[in-house]
C-alpha cells in the first residue's frame, strides 16, 4: 500500500500498524506526475500466480529508482541552464561596459588630435611654401636670375601636386574603410567629415612632410581602431540578440514549470464546468460544515486530468490528501481503505480537517459488502470523501456506482474554450497582440473530425509552435545574416503548425464508450 500526502496536510504523526508495513506487491510501479496526464493502465486485478508477485515488486522498485534518478537529473539540467544563461548575460554586460569606456576614451583622443591639427592650421599660413618664396623675392631684371626663380617655382609646384595626390589617395582609402565598416550611419557621417577636414588641413598647412606623415599615421591608426571596434561591437550585439532570443524561447519552458508549481485550481487551465461541480458538491459544504459526499466518481478518457483534479481539489479545499494504489489482492485493497479511513478520523480529531482519499482505477477493485459499508459511511464516521477515477466506467461494480451519497462527474476531452485557454497561456508572450485563440481552437477541433485530444497533446503542440518558430528564425538568420529580433508569432504561422503537427489521440470509438454510461 502506498499513501501519499498533499502539501496542505498538517498531521504527520499517525502511523499505520507495523504489521501492515511490510512490502506488498503493487499493481503498477510509480509513474512521474506528468503535466495534466494520467498514470497507469487499468487492470482487472484478478488472480495471478504467486511467483509473478515477487517479479512485479522487484521490477516496480527498479523502475521507480530510475525514474526518480531521471527526475533529479532533469532538475539539475534545468538549474545548469539557468546558471549558464545568467553567466553569459553577465559576461556580455561586462564586454559592453568595457567597449563603451574604450569608445569614450577614443572620442576624447580624437577630439584632442583634431584640435591640434586645427590649431596648427590657424597659426600657419595656408599659402604653399613655393608661393611664399616667390612673393618674397624681388623681381630681377637679370635674365639669368629670372630663369632661376621660374625653375624653383616650377619644381615646388610639381612637388606640391604630387603630395596632394598622395594625400587624396589616402583619404579615399580611409573613406572606403569607413563606408564598408559596421559603424552606424551617424558614426560613418561623422568620421567622413573628420577625414575630409583632416586631410585638407594636412594638404594646405606649412608643416614639413615628416610632420604631415606623422599626423596622417595617427589618423590612419585611429580609423583602423574605430573600424575594428565597430566590428567587435557588431559581434557583441549579435551575441546579445542571440542571448535575448534564447531567453525568449526558453521562457515557454519556464511558463510550463510555473504552471506546474501552482496549487489548486490555478494549476488547471479551462475546465470551468468541472471546477464549478467540485465547488458546489464538495468544497463549499466543507467550508460551511455542510454534508459532503461519501464518494465522487470521476470518469472519462485517459489524459483528461482526472488525477490532477483530485489533487487540486484537496489543495483547493485545504484538506488532508491520501493516495491509495490498487493492488492485486482483494484483502489488501480492503485493508488499505480501512487504514486510510481510520487515519482520516484521527486527523480530523486532532486538526479538524477532513480528508480526501484518492483511488485511481477503481474499476479494478474487487468490491465486497465490507468495502461498500466503509465507503457508505466515509463522510459521517471518518470525515473523508473518496475521489475515485476510472477510464472504464462500464466495468465498475454496481455497488460503487450506487453507493450512498455518491456523485459522478464526466471528465471530457478539452472543449474549444479549454483549448483556447491553454494556447493563450503558453503562446501569449510570443504572439501578436490581437491573436484570436478561439479561432486557433476551432481549427484544432475541426481537423480532429470527431476525434479529440488529450490535455497533454494540447500543451505539446503549443510548445512545438514556439520551437519551430525559433528554429525557423535562427535558420534564416544564419542563412541570410538577419540581425533583427525574434518576431512575434502570427495567426497564419500558428494555424499552419497546428495543421501539420496536431493529431487527435483519442478516437471516436473511445468517446462513444462514455455516452449514456449512468
Q: Which residues contact 111 (CB under 8 A, 6 or more apart)?
A: none
Does 66 map to a domain? Answer: no
Does 263 map to a domain? Answer: no
Does 388 map to a domain? Answer: yes
Does 165 map to a domain? Answer: yes
Residue located via cell numbers 630663369: 147
The whole-angstrom separation of Cα 274 and Cα 281 is 11
Rounded alpha-carbon distances, angstroms, from residue 421 to 276, 493, 498 = 17, 19, 16
* Residue that terminates a domain, selected from 377, 396, 412: 412
Does 251 map to a domain? Answer: no
> What's the structural domain count of the chain?
3
Give percent above pLDDT 70 in the chain: 62
Residues facing residue 359 across a β-bridge: 324, 388
Specify the CATH number for the domain of residue 274. Answer: 3.40.50.300
For residue 486, give the 3-state DSSP assignment: coil
Mean per-residue pLDDT for 437-448?
94
Rounded to the nearest angstrom, the gap between the alpha carbon of residue 100 and the centroid of all alpha carbons in its chain is 31
Same domain? For 443 and 500 the reply is: yes
Q: Who has greater pLDDT, 307 or 123?
A: 307
Same domain? For 277 and 369 the reply is: yes
Residue 129 has pLDDT above 80, yes or no: no
Instruction: Please check whether residue 282 is in contact with residue 296, taking contact to mean a CB–CB distance below 8 angstroms.
Output: yes
pLDDT of amino acid 205: 77
Same domain? For 408 and 421 the reply is: no
Same domain? For 444 and 331 the reply is: no
Same domain? For 239 and 124 the reply is: yes
Same domain? For 123 and 206 the reply is: yes
The whole-angstrom separation of Cα 83 and Cα 77 is 10
Q: Who has greater pLDDT, 206 or 352?
A: 352
Same domain? For 391 and 421 the reply is: no
> What's the pLDDT band for 398 if we cut at 50, 70, 90?
confident
Q: How do beta strands 355-359 and 406-410 pair?
A: unpaired
Does 299 map to a domain? Answer: yes
Residue 384 has pLDDT above 90, yes or no: yes
Mean per-residue pLDDT for 256-279?
87
pLDDT of amino acid 294: 96
Q: Who has greater pLDDT, 252 or 59?
A: 252
Q: Which range is most confident: 48-62, 85-99, 452-466?
A: 452-466
The whole-angstrom separation of Cα 382 and Cα 377 is 7
> What's the pLDDT band for 69 if we cut at 50, 70, 90?
low
Specify the CATH number for the domain of residue 485. Answer: 1.10.8.60
Same domain? For 402 and 433 the reply is: no
Does 4 map to a domain? Answer: no
Check the CA dihedral 129-130-131-137 and report its sign: positive
Helix boundaries (H) for 330-434: 330-351, 369-376, 378-381, 398-401, 416-427
Q: Who has greater pLDDT, 249 or 145?
A: 249
pLDDT of amino acid 34: 38
Question: Across the chain, what does the average pLDDT equal?
Answer: 74
Instruction: Please check whether residue 290 is in contact with residue 422, taking contact to mean a CB–CB distance below 8 angstroms.
Output: no
Give 20-55 as a DSSP string: G-S---BSS------TT-------------HHHHHH
* Residue that terminates a domain, selected from 387, 412, 437: 412
pLDDT of amino acid 76: 66
pTM beyond 0.75, yes or no = no
Range of the domain at 394: 18-36+268-412
Same domain? For 209 and 146 the reply is: yes
The x, y and z cell numbers of residue 359, run together, are 483511488
Residue 5 has pLDDT above 80, yes or no: no
Q: Tally Cβ neighbours within 10 Å of residue 491.
A: 16
pLDDT of amino acid 439: 94
Residue 326 has pLDDT above 60, yes or no: yes
Residue 22 has pLDDT above 50, yes or no: no
pLDDT of amino acid 15: 39
The x, y and z cell numbers of residue 386, run together, are 473518496
For residue 270, give the 3-state DSSP assignment: coil
Instruction: Please check whether residue 281 is in contact with residue 355, taking contact to mean a CB–CB distance below 8 angstroms.
Output: no
The whole-angstrom separation of Cα 514 and Cα 508 is 11
Same domain? For 171 and 317 the reply is: no
Instruction: Please check whether residue 502 is in contact with residue 461, taking contact to mean a CB–CB distance below 8 angstroms.
Output: yes
* Residue that terminates a domain, selected from 381, 412, 443: 412
Q: What is the pLDDT of residues 29-54, one digit of tens each?
A: 333 343 333 333 333 444 444 444 44
**Of the candidates 228, 300, 202, 315, the residue with the CA atom closest to the CA atom of residue 263:** 315
Q: What is the pLDDT of residues 198-244, one digit of tens each?
A: 888 888 777 788 888 888 888 888 888 888 888 877 766 555 555 55
Same domain? For 381 and 240 the reply is: no
**Of the candidates 460, 453, 501, 508, the residue with the CA atom closest to the CA atom of residue 302:** 453
Same domain? For 406 and 425 the reply is: no
| Exposed/middle/buried for residue 92 (C-beta within 10 Å: 0-12, 13-18, 19+) | middle
Any idea which of 264-273, 354-363, 393-402, 472-481 has the lowest mean pLDDT?
A: 472-481
Angle at 280 (CA atoms; ends 279, 281), nearest 5 degrees: 100
Does 81 map to a domain? Answer: no
Mean per-residue pLDDT for 315-336?
91
Give percent above pLDDT 90 in the chain: 31
Residue 140 has pLDDT above 50, yes or no: no
**Of the candidates 277, 321, 272, 322, the residue with the CA atom closest to the CA atom of residue 296:** 277
Mean per-residue pLDDT for 409-434?
90
The whole-angstrom separation of Cα 448 and Cα 427 is 21
Amino acid at each position: 500500500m502506498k499513501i501519499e500526502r498533499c502539501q496542505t496536510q498538517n498531521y504527520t504523526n499517525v502511523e499505520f500498524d507495523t504489521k501492515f508495513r511490510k512490502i506488498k506487491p503493487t499493481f503498477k510501479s510509480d509513474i512521474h506526475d506528468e503535466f495534466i496526464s494520467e498514470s497507469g493502465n487499468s487492470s482487472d486485478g484478478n488472480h495471478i500466480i504467486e511467483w509473478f508477485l515477487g517479479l512485479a515488486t522487484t521490477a516496480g522498485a527498479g523502475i521507480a529508482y530510475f525514474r526518480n534518478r531521471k527526475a533529479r537529473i532533469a532538475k539539475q539540467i534545468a538549474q545548469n541552464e539557468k546558471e549558464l544563461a545568467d553567466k553569459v548575460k553577465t559576461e556580455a554586460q561586462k564586454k559592453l561596459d568595457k567597449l563603451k569606456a574604450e569608445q569614450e576614451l577614443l572620442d576624447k583622443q580624437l577630439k584632442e588630435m583634431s584640435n591640434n591639427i586645427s590649431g596648427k592650421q590657424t597659426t600657419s599660413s595656408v599659402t604653399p611654401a613655393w608661393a611664399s618664396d616667390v612673393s618674397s623675392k624681388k623681381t630681377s631684371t637679370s635674365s639669368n636670375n629670372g630663369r632661376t626663380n621660374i625653375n624653383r617655382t616650377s619644381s615646388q609646384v610639381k612637388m606640391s601636386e604630387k603630395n596632394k595626390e598622395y594625400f587624396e589617395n589616402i583619404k579615399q582609402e580611409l573613406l572606403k574603410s569607413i563606408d564598408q565598416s559596421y559603424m552606424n550611419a551617424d558614426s560613418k557621417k561623422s568620421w567622413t567629415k573628420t577625414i575630409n577636414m583632416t586631410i585638407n588641413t594636412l594638404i594646405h598647412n606649412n608643416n614639413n612632410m615628416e610632420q604631415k606623415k606623422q599626423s596622417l599615421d595617427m589618423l590612419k591608426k585611429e580609423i583602423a581602431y574605430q573600424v575594428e571596434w565597430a566590428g567587435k561591437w557588431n559581434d557583441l550585439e549579435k551575441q546579445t540578440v542571440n542571448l535575448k532570443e534564447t531567453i525568449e524561447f526558453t521562457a515557454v519552458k519556464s511558463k510550463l514549470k510555473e504552471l506546474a508549481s501552482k496549487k489548486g485550481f490555478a494549476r488547471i487551465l479551462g475546465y470551468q464546468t468541472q471546477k464549478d461541480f467540485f465547488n458546489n458538491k464538495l468544497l463549499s459544504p466543507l467550508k460551511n460544515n455542510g454534508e459532503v459526499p461519501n464518494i465522487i466518481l470521476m470518469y472519462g478518457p485517459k489524459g483528461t486530468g482526472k488525477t490532477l483534479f483530485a489533487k487540486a481539489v484537496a489543495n483547493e479545499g485545504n484538506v488532508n490528501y491520501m493516495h491509495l494504489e490498487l493492488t492485486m489482492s482483494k484483502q489488501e485493497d480492503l485493508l488499505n481503505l480501512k487504514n486510510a479511513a481510520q487515519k482520516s478520523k484521527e486527523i480530523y480529531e486532532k486538526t479538524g480537517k477532513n480528508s480526501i482519499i484518492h483511488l485511481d482505477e477503481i474499476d479494478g477493485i474487487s468490491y465486497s459488502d465490507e468495502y461498500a459499508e466503509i465507503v457508505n459511511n466515509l463522510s459521517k464516521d471518518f470525515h473523508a470523501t473518496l475521489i475515485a477515477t476510472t477510464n472504464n466506467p462500464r466495468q465498475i461494480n454496481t455497488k460503487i456506482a450506487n453507493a450512498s451519497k455518491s456523485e459522478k462527474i464526466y471528465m471530457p476531452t478539452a472543449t474549444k474554450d479549454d483549448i483556447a485557454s491553454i494556447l493563450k497561456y503558453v503562446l501569449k508572450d510570443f504572439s501578436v497582440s490581437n491573436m484570436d485563440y478561439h479561432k486557433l481552437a476551432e481549427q484544432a477541433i475541426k481537423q480532429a473530425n470527431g476525434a479529440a485530444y488529450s490535455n497533454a497533446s494540447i500543451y505539446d503542440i503549443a510548445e512545438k509552435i514556439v520551437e519551430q518558430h525559433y528554429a525557423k528564425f535562427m535558420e534564416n538568420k544564419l542563412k541570410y545574416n538577419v540581425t533583427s529580433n525574434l518576431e512575434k508569432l502570427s495567426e497564419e504561422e500558428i494555424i499552419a503548425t497546428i495543421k501539420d503537427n496536431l493529431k487527435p489521440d483519442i478516437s471516436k470509438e473511445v468517446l462513444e464508450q462514455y455516452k449514456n454510461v449512468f
